[in-house]
Amino acid sequence: MLLRQSAQLHDLSEHAAIDATFYDRSPASRHYCQRISYRVQKLKVTKLVDKASQAVLDVHCSTNREGSDADLAEQIARRNAGDLRSLAADKGYDKQSLREGLRDLGIRPLIKHRIFAPYDHAHNARINDNSYNQRSMTETVNSAVKRSLGFAERARSWFREFREIALMCVVYNIKRFVKQ
């Protein structure tokens, strides 16, 4: 809720982009790691970013690398369906069920197809390059958050790790608002 309130400080467009990045877990002592079976070294964080204001709208954290990024994207888009008209993502989110799910929610998918057949070139030609290229704003936001607020998690429990990531995004949104 705090993340959503900090995003509302900005003039939001109805166009967003999504991308994932990894955060390191800060190293713990070997004894501690063995005692609690602490094996996961990275935390996968998927952020939904407004393309115009570069505000973080939503965040999802995961420790397992199983499954597709497209499944997470559909879940995040469903949570924000009323606020979005288009969603841009890179080719890692190329999945037909994601495109259909977004269209059912009234969101226009701006996701390039991987080239497996000649008709994939035609699909990619129909996507407006200016709108699609704005997806790189998520990479800019990920880089800015990591540079200014750190690239490692310090918390040990799952809930606290998620809360730490969400608070990083809240601080980032507020810093962007203050600079305007």
What one-character-per-residue DSSP string does 113-174 give? PP-SSHHHHHHHHTS-HHHHHTTHHHHHHHHHHHHHH-SEE---SHHHHHHHHHHHHHHHHH
168: CATH: 3.30.420.10
pLDDT per residue as tens digits for the range 111-124:
877 766 776 666 66
pLDDT per residue as tens digits for the range 69-113:
888 888 888 988 888 898 888 888 888 888 899 999 999 888 877
Taking residues 145-164, what's their average pLDDT?
A: 82
Residue 130: count other Cβ atoms within 10 Å of its Cβ.
7
Domain extent for 18: 2-179
The amino acid at residue 102 is L
Total tally of structural domains belonging to the chain: 1
Closest CA to 135 of 63, 71, 54: 54
